[in-house]
Amino acid sequence: MIIKYFLAVAFVITFSTTSAVATNPIMITISSDMNKVIFDGRWSHETEWKRSSLDTLSYDDGTYIQLRTAHQDNFIYVFVDAVSDIYLDKGIDGTIVCFDTNNDKSLLPDSNDYCFVATLDEREPFVLQGGSLESNDHLIKIANPDGFIGISSVSDENDRYSKTPHTSYEFRIPTNLVGRSDIYGFYLGIYDGHSDKIHSWPQDLVSDSIIKIPTPSIWGELVSPDKSLPEFEWPMLAILTAFSLSAYLTKFRYR
Ligand SMILES: [Ca+2]
Ligand SMILES: [Ca+2]
Ligand SMILES: [Ca+2]
């Protein structure tokens, strides 16, 4: 069994080295509107995810996914709009979003790798962490962190890309867990129960199960191009500035 797994990993590495190199990173944007997102698993109204980055993922078999990403305060927000998945396989369609928080691209998932899973119409999203010796794939379920949301439902008339009912996913991922960085390793796996296929980002990473993820060494990257994600938030910076100014003035006065 273990040998089979390592063979599978070796195959994935060989197969995908070129595509991983060729993949442009996902550029995440800072947003001031993400705290207004209604977490119901779908486009709730037309402007809901407007202030976020857009990446269009299209595949040779006609699959078409719109990915929106943004960050605000202590959360990373991800919307996966599986526009072409019009077969609503409740309890089966699912998406996994993974972060290699140190971007150290290890061969097997390590303890700074986290994955977040949501399933269509199921209220119980879950979180996996790498580095476990208890499971063959080195991933183990951990308690959902405070503030984490993963929810999936059906997007239709309010969707910016298609009014035909289709599966979509909303995630809110706490930076308390994944940390603040201007570059993460990043992997997405979107499973459609009707075709029984996983479409990944980066593309063509072979995986036969939604929670059996390809090796982090070939994941893509999620980048904060203006480095706004790792920086201090403005309120914190303002408090620090005010504090040092008052400390300086106090010192000056008693000289
Ligand atoms: Ca929504
Ligand atoms: Ca489906
Ligand atoms: Ca890692």
* Model confidence pLDDT, tens digit, residues 127-149: 999 999 888 889 999 999 999 99
Residue 79 host element (H or E): strand 75-81
The CA distance from 237 to 173, in Å, is 23
CB 101 within 8 A of CB 114: yes
pLDDT at 246: 62
Query: What is the pLDDT averaged over residues 107-134?
Result: 96
Which residues fall inside 5 Å of ion ligand 2, going by CB? 85, 87, 89, 93, 192, 194
Q: What is the DSSP letter of 161?
A: S
Q: What's the mean pLDDT in 86-115?
A: 97
Give the pLDDT of residue 241. 60
Greatest Cα-to-Cα distance within the chain, rounded to the nearest angstrom: 76
Q: Under CATH, which number does the domain 2-253 receive?
A: 2.60.40.1190
Q: What is the mean pLDDT of residues 231-240?
A: 59
For residues 165 and 57, the answer to whether their CB atoms sit within 8 Å is no
Hey, where are the domains in the chain?
2-253
Average the pLDDT over 1-5 and give the result.
41
Q: What pairs with residue 155 in β-bridges?
A: 166
Strand, helix or coil for residue 179: coil
> In the structure, what pLDDT confidence band is assigned to residue 186 with cuts at 50, 70 and 90?
very high
At 155 the three-state DSSP class reads strand
152 neighbors 118 (Cβ within 8 angstroms): yes
Specify the range with the lowest mean pLDDT, choosing from 11-20, 25-34, 131-140.
Answer: 11-20
- 40 Cα: distance to centroid of ligand 2 (angstroms): 18
Measured in Å, residue 185 CA sits from the centre of ligand 3 at 8
What pTM was estimated for this model as a whole? Answer: 0.84
